[in-house]
Amino acid sequence: MADFVRVNASASLKEVLRAVLSAKGRVVYIDIADGSTLWELKSLRLLRRAGLETEKKLVVVSGTRINRIKATQAGLAAASPDELPGKPNAMKSTSSKTTTFVKSGISKKPAPVKATESIASSPAQWISSRTGDLAEPGKKRKLLFAASAIMALLTGFVVSTVVLQKAEIIVYAHTDTVGSDFDVVFDKNITNDTPGDRAILAYPVREIKKYSQKFDSTGSSAGLEASGEAVIYSSFPNTLTLRAETTYLEAASGVRYRLQSNITGLRPNVPYSVQVAAERGGSQGNIAAEERLEVHNSAFGYRPQVLYARVGAAGMTGGSDSDVLTVSDQDFQKARELIGQKAIEEIKSNLSKTISDNVILIPELTNVRVVSESYEAKIDDVRPDFTGELEVEVTGLAFNDNSVLELAVVESSRSLLTGQKFLEVEQGSVRYTTRSSELERGLAVVNVNLASRFTYDLDPDDLKSLLAGRSTREIKDILLNKGEIAGIKISLSPFWLTKTPKSSKKIHIKVEVQQ
């Protein structure tokens, strides 16, 4: 059933809304007179909003094409008078502004608005407050939508739980260390060094290197020695010769002084001047001129009546209590070692360039001989450093380090049990001990001792069938009691699952080595 509302030019929007609200049908035709202010877009849009709120279809009727276009732009249905499904039987004016006609021909006047009523803040709100019973279908649709959403969530939950469930488990295999030792033959005459034969090709080395280098002094002395001139007096009837190695002068304080050169041709009553230096450092060696010094000689003996000395005019000076650096015998030994190591490093570098980067020269198969050496200083000289020239000869047997490691894999794997798997030789664990060597012939027998890491060979498929349908706690109890397993990491999806899927196809197991 449809209602028809005719609106004259002077009718207000409020009156039209009342008429729409009073209409019984779901379709309301509104015939608006030309020139009415209701043809403004704003008014037409409010009419459209009223239709949406009351769930009625509003059709604006006008014989003018422009008015119909305006209604369409406002979102309303528009029709000309000729397009109406049926015309009213009578058109009686029951109001100066608005008249409503129903299809039966009976006219009805809209209910008057009370004085206390108002359109409120907007016509849409006013209409909504008057049509509470018409909103029931909207509530039903909302309930239906909510029920549909809940069913969709339940369906998704079931699908996720049953269809999309999976378990990802990382198993960390335990690792351990095993020691191995075996003898290897290094031979320059080998043509094929196949791993497992325990024979490896050797490269003979024999080179002479010469170097000139400055070295640091590491000896120490308690202060500087005093030195100066001493005058020797003799009343012995014969001419004397006093060697520096067997003669020393002694002061009254007990300080001893050594001759810096031999005394030859010491005649009676003829003074003989010679340079001397205190045996030990220290300020106590500083003494004044003319102080008497006693002469001691291992051959002539101690004869103070016929042989003695006095300090020269300048006195004994230069003695100091401060510690000083001196050249020691250990410094010379260190110089030999440094030059020998320098020569070996140069030879290693040449071998890596000419043969392979993996060729090494180990100390156990290397000899360094000092051919010649000379130094600009002697032991106990007070100086911070010194220069030395050394010539060394290096002989040895070099070999490819990879060949030893390949042989170590074979030998270490032999000692493993069933279910164990070799991983690697531990870095820095290889030790060499020479059994016998003939470096000149390019032949040596060496014992190799090393440590290697191994792990356990775990089958993921076996673990899948064991862990299907298990909780996290059950999985840990099962796996962590095995000595082959060091740890596990479990991830269940969706996140609310507490057990692994019963189907082993949905369980993914990855075995990793414990780090």
pLDDT in tens, 231-287: 999 999 999 999 999 999 999 999 999 999 999 999 999 999 999 999 988 899 999
In sequence order, what DSSP letters do the residues of 154-197 get, joined into one string? HHHHHHHHHTS-EEEEEEEE-EEEEEEEEEEEEETT-S---TTS
How large a percentage of the chain has pLDDT more than 70? 84
pLDDT in tens, 408-458: 898 888 888 888 999 999 988 999 999 999 988 999 999 999 999 999 999
The residue ranking higher by pLDDT, 136 or 467, is: 467
- Distance between CA atoms of 246 and 299, rounded to whole angstroms? 8
The residue ranking higher by pLDDT, 389 or 65, is: 389
3-state helix, strand, coil in the chain (%, to 5): 30, 35, 35
- In this prediction, residue 126 carries a pLDDT of 42
In sequence order, what DSSP letters do the residues of 380-401 get, joined into one string? T-B-SEEEEEEEEEEEEEEEEH
- In this prediction, residue 510 carries a pLDDT of 92
Lowest mean pLDDT among 14-23, 96-105, 170-179, 301-310: 96-105
- In this prediction, residue 157 carries a pLDDT of 58
The residue ranking higher by pLDDT, 512 or 146, is: 512
The residue ranking higher by pLDDT, 133 or 237, is: 237
Residue 197 has pLDDT above 80, yes or no: no
Half-sphere exposure for 329 (CA within 13 Å, toward CB): 0
Half-sphere exposure for 94 (CA within 13 Å, toward CB): 16
Reduced to 3 states (helix: H, G, I; strand: E, B; else coil), residue 124 is: helix
- Distance between CA atoms of 144 and 360, rounded to whole angstroms? 83
Q: For residue 459, which amino acid is it? A: D
When the pLDDT of each residue in the chain is averaged and rounded to a whole number, the result is 84
Q: Look at residues 347, 390, 385 and name the one whose alpha carbon lies nearest to residue 366.
A: 347
Total-model pTM: 0.50
Length of the chain: 515
List, in order of start, the domains of the chain with CATH numbers: 2-130 (no CATH), 223-322 (2.40.30.10)
DSSP 261: S
Q: For residue 45, which amino acid is it? A: R
Residue 205, Cα to own-chain centre: how many angstroms?
42
Per-residue confidence band for 343, with pLDDT thresholds at 50, 70 and 90: very high
- Distance between CA atoms of 148 and 142, rounded to whole angstroms? 10
The residue ranking higher by pLDDT, 111 or 314, is: 314
Structure-token pair, residue 291: 């102080």
Per-residue confidence band for 121, with pLDDT thresholds at 50, 70 and 90: very low
Q: Look at residues 423, 491, 480 and name the one whose alpha carbon lies nearest to residue 166.
A: 491
pLDDT in tens, 355-389: 888 899 999 999 999 999 999 999 988 889 999 99
CA separation (Å) from 215 to 282, 325, 338, 376? Answer: 26, 13, 9, 11
Cβ–Cβ under 8 Å, residues 167 and 489:
no
The residue ranking higher by pLDDT, 151 or 291, is: 291
Over the range 382-412, which residues count as b (16 or more CB within 10 Å of their CB) and which as e?
Answer: beeebebebbbebbbbbbbbebbbbbbbbbb
